[in-house]
Amino acid sequence: MNEPIVRIAARGDGVTASGRYAAFAAPGDSVDADGTIHFGPNHAEPPCRHFGTCGGCQLQHLSDHAYAEYVKDRIVGALRAQRLAEPQMSPPHISPPYTRRRVSMRAEKRGKKMRIGFNESSSHAIVDLGACPIMHPALFTMLEPLRGLLAMLLREKRSADIRMTLVDQGIDLLIAGVEVEGLAAVEALTAFASAHQLARLSLDEGYGSTPRYEPEAVTITLGGVAVPMPEGAFLQATIDGEAALIAAVCAHVAGAGHVADFFSGLGTFALSLDTPVLAVEGARDAVLGLQMASNRGKHAITTAHRDLFRRPLTPEELARFDAVILD
């Protein structure tokens, strides 16, 4: 029996009205009894040649319209589960290709082959990336030099974690799961970082992240202010996505006299407001960086280092705010 796909499930599979799941199906597609999918108007040609094998992306087979509806449905579904009414919602913002500024990948040495990429879906196998239409080109161009560096540092059949973020000074690179021993290896690391003009190179040899190369303090500019950037701190995935969120938040809290920004991080929203803000964050390094940045930028920001999961604000504490930002 041929059944139409009516929605996308949380993990990206298409779902029929009867509850049947079909991988890589889009709303408007139909699926036969033998699993054959007949494409409909919302089915798109995936732009990446690794799609379907690589577990880094799940929804490249959706049109922009279908993807936007999927994003909206996830939010509406979560609200309904809490018996909350659907609010008025702005259209989802979809970032353009080649704009993701932070990635976490895996690397593995097998004989003379050095693989770097994302895991296959539901697997520990690594897809050796030869293309990525999501990642910022500045990050993707680092993969080939990294293959050469890791071929020297990694032992046979050993793996490592790689995290890269674009910051004000360039690329902030962390390599975890390697052991750097001997003068030659240490010098190779420094030479690599210098040759590729890295903003920072950090290693985690099993005892936490340690910077090995940082010619100047690493920062990220938020609200026109350079904020100290701790290794691994959260950033919105794309700059244009961040700008869309900031614009929406500023519009919603316009006219508020006193604002609270919960889970404020480095100050993505707080530094963009021109009203008194209480910025509450559980990560100590982020709180310290935001306070330093707000002092330099003459912002009316008060920071609070507080675990909001364990110590949420009481109704009495909330009563003094005109608006609350909760991301």
DSSP notation for 122-184: TSS-EEE-S--SSB-HHHHTTHHHHHHHHHHHSPTT-EEEEEEEEETTEEEEEEES----SHH
**pTM across the whole model:** 0.91
Residue 307 Cα distances to 5, 94, 279, 290, 316, angstroms: 42, 31, 12, 16, 18
Instruction: Measure the CA–CA gap between 72 and 306, rounded to whole angstroms.
Output: 31
Query: Would you say 100 and 134 are in contact if contact means Cβ atoms under 8 Å apart?
Result: yes
pLDDT at 202: 96
Contact partners, residue 287, CB within 8 Å, separation at least 6? 279, 281, 303, 304, 305
- State whether residue 82 is helix, strand or coil: coil
Helix (H) or strand (E) holding 261: strand 259-262
The parts of the chain modelled with pLDDT lower than 70 are none
| Region at 208 (left for phi over 0; alpha for psi -120 to 50; beta for the rest) | left
pLDDT of residue 222: 95
Q: Please tell me the distance from the alpha carbon of residue 86 to that of residue 179, in angstroms, as a whole number.
A: 51
CA distance 246 to 248: 5
Structure token pair of residue 125? 């196998």
| Residue 237 burial class via C-beta count within 10 angstroms: exposed 0-12, middle 13-18, buried 19 and up | middle
Distance separating alpha carbons of residues 175 and 141, to the nearest angstrom: 16
89-130 tens-digit pLDDT: 888 999 999 999 999 999 999 888 899 999 998 888 999 999
Helix, strand, coil percentages for the chain (3-state, nearest 5):
25, 30, 45
Phi and psi at 237, nearest 5°, equal: -65, -35
Sign of the Cα torsion 307, 308, 312, 317 reads positive
